[in-house]
Structure 1
Amino acid sequence: MSQFRLLRERRFRPFFLTQFLGAFNDNLFKNALVVLLTFQAASWTTIAPTLLANLAAGIFILPFFLFSATAGQLADKYDKARLTRLVKVLEIAIMLVALAGFVLHSLAVLLGALFLLGCHSTLFGPVKYALLPQHLHEDELVGGNALVEAGTFVAILLGTLAGGMLAAAEHGALWIAAAGLVVALAGYLTSRGVPPAPAPEPGLKVNPNPLTETWRNIGFARENQPVYLAILGISWFWLYGALFLAQFPAYAKSVIGGGEGTVTLLLATFTVGIGLGSLLCEKLSGGQIEIGLVPFGSIGLTIFGLDLAFASPAGLPAGAPLAVAEVLAQPGVVRVLVALLMLGVFGGFFIVPLYAMMQSRSAAAHRARVIAANNIMNALFMVAGALAAGGLLSAGLSIPALFGVAAVMNAAVAVYIYRLVPEFLLR
């Protein structure tokens, strides 16, 4: 049966819509704020726009390090449907804080709202992935995860586009705040339809110390080597994907000679690829968790990462920045887009079975805390990847060469994981 039938069922549809709207709102506000601070920085602060953009990214990701361990405990201790509704109430409050920041023209309040939005995502992460195994049968986990991953990337794309458009509009600040509030309210309404998901360990005593609890959560994950290696694989994918995504603006401008529309084209192509790959997983898996797709995915991630590096134009075209139609007419650009699309497709093959495997093989009593450990590792890998990419680019490496280095590293990581757990190579 098709995975899309889950979208008609009450045990999945309200949850899917809730997480979709949450991801949309995160990216709407985050991108709108970055665009505002990039093009209107002088009216807000004396800090350089490039520094502000990196500061905003750091503020958003910081809560994943600080509060993921606590979020995992809460998701194991309380009913996840109830927690989902409380998180949505928090999102409404955060959007009111953002509205106050725009009205008061206060950068500090807006950055505070961004930090709180990061807290909102941190709290929802363990709930989001630990809830799926409670509402879906094991033969539906791949299809459910595929829909969630595809939906999340589409929400990221649409939220990013909407944020940029609203920031560029007249009275953009108020439009951003109003849109964020409307989306948060819609998310709360959909969350009311999420069926109960009883706590697996209601007697759990919450440890507020993030350091000791983080180490304990990682310990839960390490109890099962395939689960731990699935987490490492997921974290590597987020490092790899985030490294490519972060370079899109500079790549569009300084390599293929495009403008903002070209950045959108690159992001949309990659997002469509991830969505297609994720949804194809269910068809290729035959209704079971098919971890044999993971090495297949890693091979594609390496091949098309290298292809993207070699397909990139050697020199900036004359007349840059070019319109999207002019960019598409340039030699090699179609190959770049095909490589990017396939990079997304094979990324979907790689990531969906790993999420399903992590969920199905984690002990129910501390599944949310294992997912919290995964979120912490994801954030750590993404920060490490951003620092490494920044260092290599500062040392004079070109963006296409950076893509090539990342692809070679991807092959090395894949060989390391598959040597440790040959089970990944079985289909």
Structure 2
Amino acid sequence: MIYLDHNATTPVDPRVVEVMLPLFTDQFANPASKHGPGREVTRIVERARREVATLAGARARDVVFTSGATEAANLAIGGALAAAGPDRPRVLVGATEHPAVLGAADAAAAAAAGPGTRAERIAVHPDGTIDVDDLRRLLGPDVALVAVMAANNETGAVNDLRPLVEPVHSAGALLFSDVTQALGRIPVSLERTGVDVAVASAHKLYGPKGVGALVASGDAWARIAPRAHGGGQERGRRAGTLNTAGIAGFGAAARIAAASMTDDGRRQRTLVAQLTELLVGQLGRGAVELNGPVRARLPNTVNLRFVGAGADDVQACLPQVAVSAGSACSGGGDVPSHVLLAMGRTAAEARESLRFSLGRATTPEEIRTAADQVARAVQRVRSLTQSTPIQDEVRDDNRARTARPAGTPA
């Protein structure tokens, strides 16, 4: 299997596993315990906190560990609305945000259920970057929080967050950013940029699933009401016994990413260009269209529309290549990507689009093989008659090939 879906999740780096293993057996104490073993685990947690903070360009004391970016987004957005009260009932959210952020904003607004409480979408340009003019139009003194992601999970579009800081802060709102896809792939500095609140997950940067972080400046924490209550862990900001093995793994993954990010990015950008060139060369320039920015994009990501070939059907013809037709967290079903629709694509065009997201271990040989297989799959889908249930035919054919005795002609 050639795995080109690293924006959905990454394999855990063996060096990360090595750091995590002792926390399951030898160093298993609860960090809330005051005895020697508990204090030793606390030191491990605090080292991981520093490592994550360093990668995010933040202060260690501003990092709170969660079960992932989804929980962190719910804590931050719900907490900000709750703390703001009736004077600031609105939340502004980029139209191409991850479903976790869109869902958290909609749920927080519904839960508040006060007069004027609502989550509103900020428009994006056709390349997927945020429309700053539309943000300025929507801003007002009744806005509690503005959410704009650092990099999009489907197209890789990178937003320049610096022009947003002044208008958002002038309106008295918090600037929130989902840095999940950006962290470890491009430089991130929350303090220098002026972002108030950010969220991330370890499993996007070769760490374990089930652990993430909510990072907020000291001033911002005072404007986020706690949503998880209990034993007062994480200085009362997020109660619950810490996932110490996961946290240690997150820290190790952050440290490794900081050291390898520049080289990884340079190599992946070259491979993405190679993949695109090979597909255009085999299918024709007019048959392959780019979704997203040409340059302001994550180095490992490209989203392409294959004109006249449904993405689901192409995937069904690719048993040995793992790619994505959208966010892994979008809920499935025959629903076109909300990201591509917000960028101006029609539903039909969105359904012809695939995301390719490369990883640290992706090789040039894999790219060449994947390009050949994707091109053949696209050509096959185009050649099948519209009256044929394409995916059923493809799956039947794949099963027949699998069942055929070795050496039997196809």
TM-score (norm. length: structure 2): 0.27
TM-score (norm. length: structure 1): 0.26
Of the two structures, which has the highest relative contact order with CA contacts closer than 8 Å and spacing of 6 or more? 1
Higher helix content, 1 or 2: 1
Larger Rg: 2
Higher strand content, 1 or 2: 2
